[in-house]
Amino acid sequence: MNEPRIQPLKAPGKRIAFVLAVLIHVVLILLIVYGIRWQTKTEDVVEVDLVRAVPEPPTAAAQPAPQPKPEPKPQPEPKPEPKPVAKPEPVKPPPKPDIAQKSKPLPKPEPKPEPRGEPPKDPFKEQLEREMKEAEQRRASLAAAEELARIKAQQANAIQATAMADYIAKIRGKVRGNIVLPADVKGNPEAVFEVTQLPSGEVLEVRLKKSSGNPAWDAATERAIRKSSPLPTPAQKELFSRTLELRFRPQEE
């Protein structure tokens, strides 16, 4: 005979505890999800305009506070429009001449009044003035020519005098080389001689023109002149003179 199995009785409180545990977990999960979404949500920016409070009049009714005006959003700056390029103006053709203007008669020039009070010109007087001017010009030209000739003559005379002085110096130098100085000559007396010569320089005559007062010096000088023949000839033939005047002093170099 089989004995009946005794089944354990289930506690009625386990089911309720299990259901409560599931509900608590679901609530926790919901709280966690909504908490995360609440933290990640961006807060709206609230702008407040501070307005100085004005005391309301006692009789006026309470007015509602003004709502803050939203700030305008910055608009992008407009791009600069390209400047229009100025088109060159078309060249206008020159105006055509008015044919009607050419056909108009030109005004006649008014006759100029003749000057009065001027005497008529005298042709003889004009000719006389012209001849006087020409004569004055001729006199000025003649004076200039004479002045130029005088300057040239002075220059020629100066050149000729220099050449003549050189010529006489050569003669005196040759003569002085042949003078034998006497021992009894005192002082520095001057003897002047006139010498006649040929173009070749040969001495023809020696004449004492002015004595020095010392016969010994006069005689020594005359002997030296005759010994110096022929005398030096000039470099220029026109400087030759047939008669020469020579002066000598004992102490003259």
Q: How many helices and strands in the chain, by DSSP H and E?
A: 4, 3
- For 221, the domain range is 155-248
- The amino acid occupying position 194 is E
Residue 40 lies in a domain: no
Q: What is the pLDDT averaged over residues 203-232? A: 92
What is the DSSP track for 159-207?
HHHHHHHHHHHHHHHHHHHT----TT--S---EEEEEEE-TT--EEEEE
Q: What percent of the chain has pLDDT over 70?
A: 61
pTM equals 0.41
- 252: Cβ–Cβ under 8 A, 6 or more apart, which residues? 176, 188
> What CATH number should be reported for the domain holding residue 187?
3.30.1150.10
pLDDT value of residue 118: 60
- Per the domain annotation, does 78 fall within a domain? no
Domain-embedded: residue 142 = no
Average pLDDT of the segment spanning 81-90: 59
Examine the pLDDT at 11 and tell me if it is beyond 80.
no
Residues 6+ apart with CB under 8 A from 177: 224, 228
Number of structural domains (the chain) is 1
Is there a domain that residue 2 lies in? no
Kindly report the CA angle at 77 between 76 and 81, in degrees rounded to 5?
Answer: 130
What kind and span of H or E run contains 14? helix 13-40
208 in helix, strand or coil?
Answer: strand
Residue 56 maps to a domain: no
- Whether residue 51 lies inside any domain: the answer is no
pLDDT of residue 73: 61
In a domain, 48, yes or no: no
- pLDDT of amino acid 156: 82
96 compared with 112, residue with greater pLDDT:
112
**205 is a domain residue:** yes
In this structure, of 77-81, 140-144, 164-168, 229-233, the range with the lowest mean pLDDT score is 77-81
Percentage, residues of the chain above pLDDT 90: 26
Please report the pLDDT score of residue 107 as a whole number.
Answer: 66
